Every structure is written in structure tokens, then in C-alpha cells.
């Protein structure tokens, strides 16, 4: 998920830092080279794709090792160790970004990297990790029940995210715009949150704001370019074969989410009262599913697709019915 403050009208955060540094020098002018790098890096060669696939395959093994061993582990940092052991054993450079291993409520915090929580047996485990191999990084998230079986409430949220990811994937093909995929994911999430009562209606705004209600529960972007950087450079141009994007919708029912609204705003009290029953039912559930998608001549390929993702496949894997492939 791309934090909202990464870019602004002055370019990337990195560019602003360079420009500030240049301001301390005499006789230099700094220009933003992002467009040049975007062009060079947005479409991968076959060789680049082999490296990226290798990073993804290492990460897939790490994810499945964590899923397989979760029953023997008591702390998030132990899960992180299982994952990073695989990275080291398979000679990855390192991780492409700090590992996110969040159990239960911690899974509702974006970029939670502390790994200090206990593994609750009835919780969901959210793992967002990616190995870097020869400078190319994977970026993959899976969310699964620690005891191997989704509760009805966990199942409701997981199914929304899964269906949103599928809807987005169906839009990915040469010539399409990223906005078609992100829009498809958002539409599924909004419609289904309304059905669960977590928002009052499709199209409804948070009272007194221009912010759609569904953004309370899905507060990050749908995806980003992937390659030498986890949030790689790239431009918003029609998709073409060789481009790689993540597909990472999520729904996060944070336990304090309703605490910060301005209750003096007209309609706010009624809004909160209306969604509170559903909130109480689903709070502390966080689900993200993230895959690495290669645009091909004919459509799209799930580069990280070998890790169980469909709800039934996750449960079967956890039950030992499926083995490491």
C-alpha cells in the first residue's frame, strides 16, 4: 500500500531531498530524472522478469513456511524469523522492505513492523513480506486464520477483499488503465461494506466531508509498480506487456476507528450509531491480499499465484491437505 504522502506537486520525497541538498551547493541545477527512469524501468526485459520471479518464488516459500509452522509459534517475531530464515537460506540480498507480520488487531495497522505481539489462536495473521534478489523485490501479502479455520466474521471480510482483488485482476490487460482495476476493486469493497452495514450506503460520504465512507475501512491505494524498488517508478500510461503492478486491496476494522470523528458535525452521531453494530461485530479484523501481476500479451499473469489465496485453498493448506509445491 502506498502511503499518501509519498508524492506531492513537487515530485517524490526523494526528489525534494535532492533538491534541498542541491540548494546548499554552488553552480548545480537539479532536474527530476524520474520520467527517464520510469521509461527505462516500467517495462521489464525477460531477464529482469526472471530475477523478479526468483524473488517472488523465494517469498512464496517463506509465506508458505510461515503458514505451515504457525501452530508451533507464539510471537510475531518468531513468524518473522521463519520468513527471513528462508530469505537468507535461498541467498536473497535481503528483504525488499521491512517485514510486516501483524496478528489480530495488529493486522489492522498499515506498515506495522514491530512484530512484538502474541499469536492469538483465533486471530487472523496478516503477513506482507518480500525478498529482494539481485536488486528486484517481491511484495506479497497473505492473511490467514492461525487455527486454520476462518470464523464467520473473518470469512465475511476475507471474501470482500478476495472478490475485490479478482475484480481488479479481470481489468488488467494491455491497453487498460490502472484506474480501471483500482476502480473495480473499490466498487466491490464499497458495495459489500454497505451490505454488511459497515457503511450506510454505496456513494455515502462521511458527514460533513467529501470523503466516501468506505475509505474509513479501505484507506490505501490499490497497487503500485513493482521492480527494483518495492514502490517502483512508473507513469500512469496504458498497460503494456512487461509491466508489473501489485494488486492489493484490503479492509481494516481498527478498534479506534470511530473515536476520532467530530461529533459536533450534523449527521455524525446518527452515522456512527447506524454502523456501530456492524463495527462491533467486525472490529479488530484486518485483511489484505496482495499479489504481483505481470501484464502479458493476452492479459495478466499472477506471478505470486502459487501461494494459497482462495479461502478454501487457504483452509485446505492449513489443514495439511495441500503441500508445498
Q: Which residues bind Mn ion (CB under 5 A)?
A: 128, 139, 246, 290
The option from ligand GLY, Mn ion, none interacting with 232 (CB < 5 to 8 A, set by class) reads none
Contact assessment for residue 253 and residue 286, using Cβ atoms and an 8 Å cutoff:
yes
Q: E strand or H helix at 196, and its extent? A: helix 178-196
- In the complex, what is the shortest distance from the CB of residue 18 to ligand GLY, in angstroms, rounded to a whole number? 23
Contact between 1 and ligand GLY (CB under 6 A)? yes
- In the complex, what is the shortest distance from the CB of residue 7 to ligand GLY, in angstroms, rounded to a whole number? 14
The option from Mn ion, ligand GLY, none interacting with 213 (CB < 5 to 8 A, set by class) reads none
Contact between 291 and ligand GLY (CB under 6 A)? no
Name the CA dihedral angle for 219, 223, 229, 235, rounded to a multiple of 10 degrees. Answer: -110
- In the complex, what is the shortest distance from the CB of residue 128 to ligand GLY, in angstroms, rounded to a whole number? 5
Transcribe 209-262 into DSSP letters.
SSSBGGGGT--S-S--B-SSSSS----S----TT-EEEE--EEE--TTTTSSS-
- Residues sharing a CB contact under 8 Å with residue 256, sequence separation 6 or more, in sequence order: none
Cα Rg of the chain, angstroms: 20
Give 98 or 120: the residue with its C-beta nearer to ligand GLY.
Answer: 98
- In the complex, what is the shortest distance from the CB of residue 209 to Mn ion, in angstroms, rounded to a whole number? 27
Give 206 or 294: the residue with its C-beta nearer to ligand GLY.
Answer: 294
Contact between 230 and ligand GLY (CB under 6 A)? yes
- Among residues 132, 232, 248, 315, the one that binds ligand GLY under rule CB under 6 A: 248
The option from Mn ion, ligand GLY, none interacting with 97 (CB < 5 to 8 A, set by class) reads ligand GLY
Distance CA(319)–CA(313), nearest Å, equals: 10
Angle at 188 between CA 253 and CA 211, to 5 degrees: 60
Using DSSP, how many helices (H) and how many strands (E) does the chain show? 8, 13
Contact between 62 and ligand GLY (CB under 6 A)? no
Contact between 97 and ligand GLY (CB under 6 A)? yes
- In the complex, what is the shortest distance from the CB of residue 231 to ligand GLY, in angstroms, rounded to a whole number? 6
Give 53 or 245: the residue with its C-beta nearer to ligand GLY.
Answer: 245
The option from Mn ion, ligand GLY, none interacting with 245 (CB < 5 to 8 A, set by class) reads none
Give 128 or 156: the residue with its C-beta nearer to ligand GLY.
Answer: 128
- Sheet strands (E) in 16-99: 94-95
Closest CA to 111 of 294, 288, 325, 320: 288
Angle of helix 311-318 relative to helix 46-69, nearest 10 degrees?
A: 60
Residues 116-175 that bind ligand GLY (CB under 6 A): 128, 139
Which positions lie near ligand GLY, rule CB under 6 A? 1-2, 97, 128, 139, 230, 248, 290
Amino acid at each position: 500500500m502506498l502511503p499518501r504522502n509519498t508524492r506531492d506537486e513537487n515530485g517524490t520525497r526523494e526528489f525534494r531531498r535532492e533538491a534541498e541538498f542541491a540548494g546548499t551547493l554552488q553552480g548545480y541545477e537539479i532536474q527530476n530524472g524520474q520520467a527517464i527512469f520510469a521509461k527505462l524501468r516500467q517495462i521489464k526485459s525477460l531477464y529482469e522478469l526472471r530475477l523478479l520471479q526468483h524473488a517472488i518464488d523465494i517469498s512464496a516459500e517463506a509465506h508458505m513456511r510461515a503458514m505451515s509452522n504457525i501452530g508451533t509459534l507464539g510471537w510475531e517475531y518468531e513468524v518473522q524469523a521463519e520468513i527471513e530464515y528462508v530469505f537468507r537460506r535461498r541467498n536473497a540480498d535481503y528483504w525488499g522492505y521491512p517485514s510486516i507480520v501483524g496478528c489480530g488487531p495488529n493486522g489492522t495497522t498499515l506498515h506495522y513492523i514491530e512484530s512484538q505481539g502474541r499469536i492469538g489462536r483465533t486471530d487472523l495473521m496478516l503477513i506482507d513480506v518480500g525478498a529482494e534478489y539481485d536488486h528486484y523485490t517481491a511484495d506479497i501479502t497473505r492473511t490467514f486464520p492461525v487455527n486454520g479455520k476462518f470464523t464467520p466474521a473473518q470469512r465475511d471480510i476475507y471474501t470482500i477483499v478476495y472478490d475485490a482483488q479478482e475484480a481488479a485482476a479481470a481489468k488488467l490487460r494491455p491497453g487498460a488503465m490502472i484506474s480501471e482495476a483500482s476502480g473495480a476493486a473499490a466498487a466491490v469493497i464499497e458495495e459489500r461494506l454497505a451490505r454488511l452495514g459497515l457503511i450506510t450506503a454505496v456513494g455515502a460520504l462521511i458527514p460533513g466531508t467529501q470523503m466516501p465512507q468506505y475509505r474509513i475501512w479501505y484507506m490505501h491505494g490499490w497497487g503500485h509498480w513493482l521492480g527494483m524498488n518495492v514502490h517502483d517508478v512508473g507513469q500512469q500510461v496504458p498497460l503494456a506487456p512487461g509491466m508489473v503492478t501489485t494488486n492489493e486491496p484490503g479492509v481494516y476494522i481498527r478498534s479506534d476507528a470511530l473515536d476520532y470523528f467530530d461529533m459536533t458535525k450534523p449527521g455524525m452521531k446518527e452515522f456512527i450509531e447506524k454502523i456501530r453494530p456492524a463495527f462491533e461485530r467486525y472490529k479488530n479484523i484486518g485483511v489484505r491480499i496482495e499479489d504481483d501481476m505481470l501484464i502479458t500479451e493476452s492479459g495478466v499473469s499472477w506471478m505470486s499465484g502459487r501461494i494459497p489465496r482462495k479461502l478454501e485453498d487457504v483452509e485446505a493448506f492449513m489443514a495439511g491437505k495441500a503441500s508445498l509445491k
